[in-house]
Amino acid sequence: MLLSTSNSRHLIGQLVLLGDSGVGKSCIVLRFVRGQFDPTSKVTVGASFLSQTIALQDSTTVKFEIWDTAGQERYAALAPLYYRGAAVAVVVYDITSPDSFAKAQYWVKELQKHGSPDIIMALVGNKADLHEKREVSVQDGIECAEKNGMFFIETSAKTADNINQLFEEIAKRLPRPTTS
C-alpha cells in the first residue's frame, strides 16, 4: 500500500519472511525492530506481527509491516496465506546450511507461482558471521538471486551486519506513487 502527502512520501511495505526453520528469520526481525540479538524471544516474535518505520535520504518514510512465519512455513498449504498480498518477500537461508539454501530456492519457486506478480523478492544469506563454517558461497547466492530477479545480501543478525542495509535496499525498491 502506498500513501503520499504533498510534502513527504509515506510508503507501507507489507513484508513476509520465508525460509527453513532455524535460519534466523526471527533474529533478523528482532535485530531490525528492537536492535538486539535475542534468540530466546522467538515465540513472542512469532506470535505477532511487528512493524518498523525507517526514513530514507529522499525524505520518504517506509513503514514495514512484518510477518514472521515462525514455523508455519513448514506447512506448505498455509504459506500462501502469508505471502499472497505481500509487497515484499524476504527469503532467508543460513550460509552454513546447503539444505536451507535448497529450501530457499523452493520458496522462490513458490513465490513465483503464487505470489503477487510485482512482489519484490530479496534473497538473504544469514549467519554471515560464521564464515569458518560457510558451506554456501557468496557466488551461489548471487547467481540464484540474479536468475530469479532478486536482490541479494548476506547478513548477520548476531553482529547486526547488513541488517539495516537489507531493509533500506528493499525500501528503495518499493514503487513510488506517481504524481500527477
- Grid coordinates of 30: 528482532
Find the shortest distance in angstroms from Cβ 65 to ligand GDP.
Answer: 18
Q: Is 134 in the site for ligand GDP (CB under 6 A)?
A: no
What are the beta bridge partners of residue 120?
88
Stretch that binds ligand GDP, among 83-91, 117-125, 152-160, 172-180 (CB under 6 A): 152-160
Residue 22 sits in the site that holds ligand GDP (CB under 6 A): yes
Among 9, 13, 14, 24, binds ligand GDP (CB under 6 A): 24
Answer yes or no whether residue 169 interacts with ligand GDP by CB under 6 A.
no
Tell me if 126 contacts ligand GDP by CB under 6 A.
yes
* Beta bridge mates, 93: 125
Q: In one letter, which amino acid is 60? A: T
DSSP3 helix / strand / coil % (the chain, rounded to 5): 40, 25, 35
Q: What's the Cα-to-Cα distance from 77 to each of 21, 80, 83, rounded to whole Å?
A: 16, 7, 12
Which residues bind to ligand GDP, rule: CB under 6 A? Answer: 19, 21-27, 39, 42, 126-127, 129-130, 156-158
